[in-house]
Structure 1
Amino acid sequence: MSALERAFLSTKHIIVFSFFFGILSWIIDGLLDTTFFSERTFVDSLIFGLSTHEIYMRISMFFIILIFGMIVSLFVHRMQEMNNVIENEKIKSHKIMDILPMIILFLDTEGNVSCVNKKILELTGYEEVRISGNKWLDLLFPEEYRSEVLPYWDKFVSGEIDSVTGLEFPIICADGSRKHVLWNAVSFIDDNGRFAGITISGEDITDRKIAEKALLMDESRLEALIELSQYSDSTIEEILDFSLEKAVNLTESSVGYVGFVNEAEETFSMYSWSEITEAGYEIKTVNMDCNIDVDNLWGIIVKQRKPLISNNYPDDSPIKKGSPAGHVNIRNYLCIPISDSGNIVMIASVGNKNGNYDSSDIRQITLLMEGTWKIIQRRENEEQIKSYAREVAEYNKELESLDRMKDEFMANITHELKTPLIPIKGYSELLFEGHLGSLDEDQKKGIGVILQNADRLHKLIDSLLYMQNIHSGNIQYHLDSVDIVNVLDNVIDKVLTFKDKGPELKTEYSSPLPFICGNSTYLKQVFSHILENALKFTPPDGLITVVASHEDKNIRIIVRDTGIGISKDEMPHIFKRFYQVDGSLTRRYGGNGLGLYLCKSVVEAHGGSIYAVSEVGKGTEIHVLLPIIEE
């Protein structure tokens, strides 16, 4: 039924009711006239005895009632149409939110959740009524992170910031598990310029974090195996100490032990016990013999001939005897047997991991200890040494093959990521600049957030591609005369394009500065990484200074900030690949750990050098020296 038909039916009803009330008022008027004001009969007061003026007045009243009813009908109808439109738009908005692959929350001016989408309900397992209102902060965020989340709300309300991106905070699900989420938020301002609420979006990056951690662990294990293969001339004690230390580190444990099983599988001889204490990593030689036939942990491992995990010791352990006197208190453990020709020859165990042991830990420690056993055997028999050398060669071939596969994968994935990113960034720029229609401030802020993250993703892809080119030796530099001041100004202008608020940035250039021989594209990437790091780790009220000066045969560029600084322990590692000052799963500042590594590669390829000077709490200076063109 069309809106016109509905209006007609409503008007028809109003006409009927108005006609009814008009007749009723005519009768009531005649009754009152007969009773109180005239000597006419009731029939005369209705029609026959009425004067022309009275008939006119009663007909006028009839039409007034009719017109008033039609006006009311039209008003009610218009209100109903407006409510329907609003409700339909609301339904559409909810549908759009529900199909988005990210978490969406709307906060009102009091900080209460007014609306959420299905993604957060699916991810956390909560019902919407539990998240709505002011319960969301205590419900979703772990207690240790709430003090970091709340200051952002205060900054939004005060107008100090109007958007924030790339914050990594975990959330607690209904089943008690945690999910790692990358958060973005943007505020809304009403027509009067007052704070009207916040839209928060979040991306579940738990799988990515786990994958990153697994990749790093695999790389660490491969490095340990390669390093272990260099222990061929070392003593068995040194090999076991090294393997035990790596096993504890790879599985993120605090304690561990290793020992041998005799040929008859009757006795287990524990060789050494390791422990991570406040003083560091400690190894204690035990030389303790245990009878395997006795009902103990080593007897079960030999009988089952497979790894054993207890994540709630001693409750879920086959041996519920607790720990002997003087033994380190055990919360959980992982124990694995190592076999050779069908016989159990070695047992290794780790314990007190901050979390649960799983199949990945079994794989890491098993592969490491299998390699350890082979090296020990190689030390005892020359033929086994030769055999193992051939196996290592095969392993190296496999590693090279995996490395080539990784190179191909990295090349393909960067290309595939760049292809859709180009139109995303292009159309976002068109929207931001108003070429596709005018935008209000909130829309422009939203497009700005998209552009910032698209640019961030583009730089990440370029970093991965450049790292791959370095690794494969395919990178080529086309050198030319470069004005370093022009390079720095271009980088600063680009960084400031989407920077609304933040630390003050100023430049100090000596004049004149000679030209250098370099590639401007790669140099721009270098100083873009350095400057973005300074912005990332410097508070909004801080200062960033870019200094360029001529020193002998070099130009020295210094990017100086008043940020959080870098500790002395971390300084030797900051230019390593994938190293991050805060590399935990819940790190606050994000990033992939490639920036300074790539900067070092480019600067050294230009014949220059790069180093850092920093003090915790006082800021950091990144020094870059580039040789000038000599006349």
Structure 2
Amino acid sequence: MQDERKTREELLQELSHYRRQAERNLNEMRLSSLFKLSQMNHRSHNEVLDFGLEEAINLTESKIGYIYYYDEDTKNFTLYSWSASVMIQCAIIEKQSIYQLEKTGLWGEAVRQRKAIITNDYPAPNPYKKGYPDGHVQLIRHMNIPIFNNEKIVAVIGVGNKDTDYTESDVVQLQLFMDGLWNIAEKIRAEEEVLKSEQKFKAVADLSCDWEYWIAPNGDMIYCSPSCHLLTGYDQKEFLAKGSLTQSIVHPQDVNTYYDHVEYDEKQSAQQREITFRIVTKDSKEKWICHVCRPIYSEKGECLGRRVSNRDITDRKRDEALLLQSNAEIRRLNENILTMLRMMSHDIRSPLLTMSATLKLLQRGHYGHMDESATNTVKDLTIRVHRILGIADDCLGKAHAVKDSLAVQKQQIDLRQDIIEEIIEEFSSEIQKKNISIDNRLGSIPTGAVIVNASKIWLKSVYRNLFKNAIKYGGENITIAYGYEDHVTFYKLCVFNTGPVIPNEKRDILFTKFGRVGDGSVQEGVGMGLFLTKEVINQHGGEIWYEEIEHGGAFFFTLPK
């Protein structure tokens, strides 16, 4: 019995020794695999994961394996890769690569339970199983574990079809190996992302036509784009070697502007600012640059310096100077033209007014009786004089409007006698030629005088423009009506015509300077009429607008009493 008991003890010792040796062998295999991984810094992230998957299969003495990424926010699995042996055995034509956690079977339990799951008899019934499609690799034994990163599951690795049962020792070895693998793979992935970011940055910055550079908080230049040579004549190495070179090429007359900008940036680093100044290039040429700088911060909010962009605006500055010179010359010429126009209008009006007064005396018989022929001639001449007076008034008004110096001197005038009747008489030949009817059906003007407080010359200009537009754009056989309403504190006046209505899309430009609303066949002048009309009404303290009403359109305007 003693010998037999000793033999059992020896067997137990040998078995324990064997287990310890097997565990040491697994540890050595795992450490060897991790060492190999640590030497793969030159390999890509995918190459490292592929190598790690095959090593995990060998470490657990499995025949197949897989890695799925997992997103805890969307609860989706995304296939990274099955092992090469699986791809040979798998007969599924359309392989699924994305799975929702809720639709996964037994293999999803590693995520749901957040721990390793061992299934040593996979064909046996299991309440968690949901089956797998025809052509799938047959599973005999299966083990998978979740991979954590900052307490979040980021992936799942699974192995299968080991010849013997999976044990907790397999779980420990695979867990330790995957922790090391994932750290190495994530480091390489981060380096790849940084490299991609740097490549994108260099692709943009190095090929930029603008001179770009990055200044660290201590004033050192971290990066300088190659375009610095095109702009300054100095190359990248010169700027990177001598940070003060940037300041030294600033034009002497702009040094204070530049240093004020730099000093302000140091105090107000959170703001983006833009200035323009001159530099002196390596070959002593003078150039203008537009200088824009903005702060750079890390994800933690730490200031990393400032990014600076300099653009050559020498041509723009030269063009601006020429434009200013040209504008000054144009203003001088315009002033001369407007002065001459005002003088001519004033000089023409004086003799025309005298002529008009004389013609009125002739019509009244002040100089004796005239026969019918002479009377008609004097009447026609009176109309022509009034028309020329209207043209002179329009020229005078437009000259004032262009110069933005419209002056209004109000007086008591009779709207009917001093304004409307004279305007109708002025356009009598056009009215007769186009068979136009004049009507006041939109408002009844009293039989007596309608006294308004306004400038006669300017109010006549308003009615002249409105009547002229109605005649010009209304066409033949239309009706032009004028209206009048007394609203206690103001008069509401209007000029209506039954011609075509002004389209909606053109009403926004009705009262703009040089705005045109007619078609090309009837356009004349420079488009100042309605703009001037609005200016006159506004200067009188009123408003003007256009409305589409029954059978036509009308311009309404108000005059305060």
Rg larger in structure = 2
Asked whether the two chains share a fold, i.e. TM above 0.5, the reply is no
The TM-score normalised by the length of structure 2 is: 0.37
The TM-score normalised by the length of structure 1 is: 0.33
